[in-house]
Chain A
């Protein structure tokens, strides 16, 4: 109980710090503190694989990329938002995002995780138990998330495709 209270306070302070801090790098650091305290909370819930995945993926990779961008951005001056290249993509993206959210919710209601029906297996939370659940009865979720991630990757490629410009005609120079 004491451990939970201490970790909860740390997590809340971290979350508040993200919003309150003036300096983007400080915000990122508060977020890291939040992520790490959440990881230890997972550990207390005997979800050890989730805890380690939280540290490796969020604290170790995503937040480092975040810091990479933030340190680069705060070093130079800010620029205005670039002009949108795809007309109306924000609206379509919003509608589609809501649709996907509804689809996921329906999926969760109709096919709840197998562990809810059958009770927790004895090895729940460690690598073995987690893998058996995810790649066995609950594979639907892995598939859904894989689809979303692939969409995100394709989206990045589309948004960052090189701008096609009318190249100015090279003028022939008279070398007389």
Chain B
């Protein structure tokens, strides 16, 4: 009984954290982009623009939810929900901190702690493509369709390299349980040190999986208007944006858990704060990259994924396998 109550509370808290995280990541991104581009960014609503996300949310919620005449109504309505669902559910298996003791109970700082947590995270994140493809198709608009098709091709291609880059960590830790992976790093040092190339590949593919610049081909505004979400407005448009930002937080959280020691850190700060700091640093790199690099050309993107990232991560994976099994 108390376990179930705890579970519901944890789910609600996690969703609240992710939504706040999304809102303020967006604000931070806009402010930083402003500084990168020598302008101010949104600073009018509240002190330093702190209330801007609230204003944006209100605007999105009150806007009319439009649907094109020729659209497929069911699929059109369901697509953004799928996107958001996939984005939110991945975070259920990420441990945010060491288990804490409260009122005589041991509370794990994750919703579920399955023995194949890493695979479950990948399973849910692989479902996120549906929202993009279906949204693009259901709009019955050629730009949206092209965006959706690009999204599916890009995400499938980069998912391979992403999966291979993570396998090294899996083998070194000897488990797919995310909490145990963190404990393994407590014993043997952060996995980024032996696995720095896979970490870089993971980060590049993570940018591609979240469809952010320089890999934001599915929504390239110079060629496709806005890609798969061209026709969306109001709350459904907001769902796509929320999904994108939460995906960004999620892949950063996974990177921290797999390569950067999760919640581990010197004891003058509580573990959960270390986790937040590391995620925030990675998110900052996301923003930094967005402000720095121009968009890829489509064929370059594909050949980069298949001919550069995939072979390198595969070779490194083979090398790690040989090392772990004692062949080397």
Contacts and interface: CB of A to CB of B under 8 A. Distances in A.
Interface string A97-130: 0000000000000000000000000000011000
B133 interface: yes
Nearest to A65: B156
A52 interface: yes
Nearest to B78: A29
A23 B114 CA distance: 38
Contact of A29 (B75, B116, B152): B75
Contact of B159 (A25, A61, A67, A75): A61
Given A52-B116, A56-B123, A75-B145, A64 B152 contact: yes
B129 A60 contact: yes
B137 interface: yes
Interface string B168-200: 000000001000000000000000000000000
A32 interface: yes
A68 interface: yes
A56 B129 CA distance: 12
Contacts of B305: none
A142 B328 CA distance: 25
Interface in B108-150: 114-116, 119-120, 122-124, 126-127, 129-130, 133-134, 136-137, 142, 145, 148-149
Interface string A13-49: 0000000000101100100100000000000000011
B156 A127 contact: no
A42 B46 CA distance: 51
B301 to A, nearest CB: 16
A72 B114 contact: no
B126 A59 contact: yes
Contacts of A26: 75
Contacts of A56: 119, 122-123, 126
Main SS class of interface, B: helix
Nearest to A51: B123
Contact of B136 (A60, A65, A71, A127): A71
A11 interface: no
Given A64-B133, A64-B156, A127-B116, A71 B123 contact: no
Interface size class of A (residues with CB under 8 A): 20 to 34
B126 A55 contact: yes
A55 B127 contact: yes
Interface in B253-274: none
Contacts of B75: 25-26, 29
Interface residues of B, number: 28
Contacts of B153: 68
A133 B116 CA distance: 17
Contact of A23 (B72, B120, B123, B127): B72
Interface in B66-96: 72, 75
Given A25-B137, A52-B120, A126-B116, A68 B126 contact: no
Nearest to A75: B145
B126 A61 contact: yes
Contacts of A64: 126, 129-130, 133, 152, 155-156
A130 B302 CA distance: 34
A48 B120 CA distance: 10
A129 to B, nearest CB: 10
Which one of A25, A49, A60 has the greatest number of beta carbons of chain B within 10 Å? Answer: A60
Interface in A124-149: 126-127
Contacts of B114: 48
Contacts of A60: 122-123, 126-127, 129, 159
B217 to A, nearest CB: 14
Contacts of A59: 123, 126-127
A49 B122 CA distance: 13
Given A32-B130, A64-B130, A127-B176, A55 B159 contact: no
A65 B72 CA distance: 20
A153 to B, nearest CB: 15
16 contacts: A25-B72, A29-B75, A29-B134, A52-B119, A52-B120, A53-B119, A55-B126, A56-B123, A61-B126, A64-B126, A64-B133, A64-B152, A65-B152, A71-B133, A75-B142, A75-B145
